[in-house]
Structure 1
Amino acid sequence: MLTDNEKAGIINSHIRNIEINKYNAQTSIMAEEALGSPNADFIDLQNNRIVQFDLQITALNAELAKLNITDETDSYTTVTSTPEAPQG
C-alpha cells in the first residue's frame, strides 16, 4: 500500500509531465503562428489540448489536496562536525 507521501510524489510527477505537454502545445502554437499562413485547425487543436491539460491538472491537484502529506525532512538528521581544538 502506498503512503500518502508516495501518492503525492506520483501525482506531482504526473502533473509535471502534463505541464511539459502543455508547454509543448504552447510552443507549437507559437511556431505555427510564425508561419506566413498558419493552419487555424492546428492552432485550434493545440488550444483544445491546453484546455484538456488544465482540466487534468485541476483534477490531480484536487486529489493531492485530499492526501495527508507530512514533511519528510523531519525524518532526516543533519550532522555537522566541529573541528577539534589542537591538543597542546
Structure 2
Amino acid sequence: MAWPTDTHCTSRRSAMVSSYVDLTEEQQKMLDDAALSIVTIKRDTQSKLAASGAAFDDGGFGSKCDICGCTSFMGDALKCANDSCRHSCSDHVFT
C-alpha cells in the first residue's frame, strides 16, 4: 500500500479544516476523543507487535502535527504534551 505524499496530506487537511471550522465545542471534543482512541490503538498495536518480534511501519500515520509540524503526538491527553506543540490529538491523527 502506498502512503500519500505530504503534499496530498496537506491539501486534504486544508479541505478538512475548512469543514471543521463550524464544529461546536462538544463536536470538537468528540473528534479529539476519537483521535485519541486511534492513537491509543496504534500504540497498543505497535507494542504488541514489537513484543512478538514483528515490525510495524505505519508510514507515519497519526504522528506529525498538521499545524506546527511536531513529529509525534506525545502524552495521553487531548492535547499534545510536547511544549512546542500543544495542539489537539485530531491535528496529529487526521493528517
Q: Which has the larger radius of gyration?
A: 1
TM-score by length of 2: 0.40
More helix by share: 1
TM-score by length of 1: 0.42
RCO higher in structure (CA 8 A, sep ≥6): 1
